[in-house]
Structure 1
Amino acid sequence: MISCTTPATLYEKCLELSSKGAVGVLLSGGFNVEGYVPFEPFLDTIEKIKEQTTLFISAHTGLVPEWLAKEMGRAGVDLADFDLVGDDSTIKSVLGLQKTVKDYRSSLSSLTKHISYVVPHICVGLHFGKLLGEFRALELASEAKPSLLVLLVLSPTSGTVFEKLAPPSVEVFKKVAIEARLMFPGIDIALGCVRPRFHNRHELELAALQSGVDRIELPDERTLEAARKMGMVVKRLHACCSVPDDVVQS
């Protein structure tokens, strides 16, 4: 991603991208001790970008308080990508936050009040590779009535506590994906960018297709061929997997 550590650099880069025909941007960054990306210094700049361009603005938010959710909506953020966790012990032991599921539920509710699109992201196996809280997270996501849901899969990452862990099995992922499809029959479900790339990649993507997942970020060519054999129509969208179809194709 492009580093924009000041409001001025964000403004300049967004105007440059807009002039080159970009449809939108994704704003992200590290979380603070409260578990959210500190967008406060950038709110006026985001508003100015929305006034001067047609860029669709997505943001990884984290556990934003309601006042900030409201200000982000006022500034013009179009879509909130929200990582949703359904277990208190996972929040404390894995994420290192002194928060609870209640805080996630509250933040999700605040975002849905003030931002047009809110897309819950649920990471399968987040609790050190084990299932713990994923089905509760799906229940919480259903309260927001999202138009799209993203499933992620824990991936061993060098330099983290997950480095030596095996990712959850394909069958474990499939249990969550099938439940998600049953709970959300009328919306798109995506397999997002956070997932193992070198361990059972094709098997995981194939399981996603079999479970009713509609979107896969950067799929293997074998997965595309399998989708066609299953009678699916393959479309390529040049955007994050959480961005609505009508935005990308408009």
Structure 2
Amino acid sequence: MVPGSGQDNESLTSRLRRGWDIARENFGDQIIFYAPSLKRYATGEIQQTSDCSFSAVSITAGRCALMCDHCRGTILNHMDATDTPDELLLRAEEIKGKGGKGLLVSGGADLDGAVPLGGFIGAIAEIKTRLGLRVLVHTGITSARMAGELAAAGVDGALIDIIGSDETAREVYHLKTAGMDDYRRSLMNLCDAGVPVSPHVVMGLHYGLVRGERDAIDMVSEFPVSSLVLVGLMPLRGTPMEGAEPPSPEAMGELILYARMRLPQVPLLLGCERPGGSHKSLTDALAIQAGVNGIAYPAEGIIAYARKLGLTTRTSDMCCALAGELMQKATVMPDGAEGS
């Protein structure tokens, strides 16, 4: 029985079982639930203990040259603006002073699809060496030179959205020349430089249609990535996709299963962005059945559901993109403890 579906969907359940078996064979019976302070969150099962455990900053404030149809800079406006290296360092010092553990350095893309990180490399390196914070970066399309600079700065991971359709790159991201080959090259550059990479694939990115997600997952499977994060389209008010209908939970479950089968030994996460309400509850349940290793901001009751299925649950206040590191630490933590 698929929880919340109201019907016995044996065909889907039997297919998801293949993903479940793959996860158990390669990762055992643990699953981690993430609730970083990137946004406020609380359920009857998880309560955040800090408002700065893991924070997000934008080095471009609310500016983005591409103004992609699914975001239009909306997400950037919810991050702290640190659009000079000194401001980035100051914010990192504040996070450290409040007991925070890390931050995500993000920003809007330029017309070529790259986040303009170049002027911030020195500040990032200082955050790593002097403050000892974990640092993740949103990179966008990444040159070999930038990948090398990020590696030298000691970043803990690069987060990059992977698009599996040139049509989506043009129509949603407004990229005039860049496409799938550029994203493949970015993955190669980051991996060759030794930067831990956590690619993200947005399910339903093309106005809610499933178009290119499997090709994006296939592309990721070609590289030694640290983890793969799947997220779902959230139609945001004030964007061209405000009225778009995201893929159904079942469609997302099928994509999660596909990713599990294509990357059987890579930590697979259901990330923070996805539709809420009953859609979220069912998607989360299907994701567990399909063999994910972790879920960010789980729906109410999902931790209990995981335990009912026999999984050992852990929680973490860090970003789920750090799954590879956190999964190793979680094996020695008591059930329900917070990951560091």
Alignment TM class, shorter chain as reference: over 0.9
SS at match of 1:121: strand
Say whether 1:142 aligns with 2:224. no
- Which structure 2 residue ranges, 5 or more long, are not aligned? 1-78, 331-338
Say whether 1:188 aligns with 2:229. no
Structure 2 Cα separation of the partners of residues 247 and 4 of structure 1: 31
Whether the 8 Å CA contact 1:79–1:115 is kept in 2: the answer is: no
Deviations 1:38-77 (A, max 9, x none): 1111111112222212111100110122211211211222
Deviations 1:18-49 (A, max 9, x none): 23332221111111111121111111111222
Deviations 1:192-250 (A, max 9, x none): 11111235110111111111112111101221111111111111111111113057856
Write the mapping of 1:66-105 to structure 2, written as runs, cut at 5 A: 66-98=144-176, 99-105=178-184
Whether the 8 Å CA contact 1:77–1:115 is kept in 2: the answer is: no
Whether the 8 Å CA contact 1:151–1:191 is kept in 2: the answer is: yes
Comparing 155-164 with 113-122, greater Cα deviation is found at: 113-122
Q: CA deviation at 1:185?
A: 1.6
Residues 247 and 29 of structure 1: CA distance in aligned 2, closer, same or farther (over 3 Å): farther
Which residue does 2:233 correspond to in 1? Answer: 154
Which residue does 1:40 correspond to in 2? Answer: 118
Whether the 8 Å CA contact 1:72–1:115 is kept in 2: the answer is: no
1:30 to 80, 83, 108: 108
Say whether 1:127 aligns with 2:206. yes
Which residue does 1:109 correspond to in 2? Answer: 188
Deviations 1:99-124 (A, max 9, x none): 11001100111111224310111111
Structure 2 Cα separation of the partners of residues 102 and 172 of structure 1: 26
Which residue does 1:15 correspond to in 2? Answer: 93
What letter matches 1:29 in structure 2?
A: G
Say whether 1:53 aligns with 2:148. no
SS at match of 1:81: strand
Whether the 8 Å CA contact 2:147–2:195 is kept in 1: the answer is: no
Which residue does 1:220 correspond to in 2? Answer: 299
What letter matches 1:152 in structure 2?
A: V
Measured on the aligned residues, the alpha-carbon RMSD in Å equals 1.6
Normalised by the size of structure 1, how large is the TM-score?
A: 0.95
Say whether 1:169 aligns with 2:248. yes
1:232 to 311, 317, 339: 311
Structure 1 Cα separation of the partners of residues 300 and 293 of structure 2: 16
How many residues are paired up?
250
Structure 1 Cα separation of the partners of residues 190 and 152 of structure 2: 12
Q: CA deviation at 1:81?
A: 0.6
Residues 167 and 134 of structure 1: CA distance in aligned 2, closer, same or farther (over 3 Å): same
SS at match of 2:234: coil
Say whether 1:178 aligns with 2:257. yes
Whether the 8 Å CA contact 1:78–1:115 is kept in 2: the answer is: no
Whether the 8 Å CA contact 2:200–2:230 is kept in 1: the answer is: yes
Larger Rg: 2
SS at match of 1:219: coil
Normalised by the size of structure 2, how large is the TM-score?
A: 0.70
SS at match of 1:200: helix
Over 6 Å off, 4+ runs: none
What letter matches 1:31 in structure 2?
A: A
What letter matches 1:133 in structure 2?
A: G
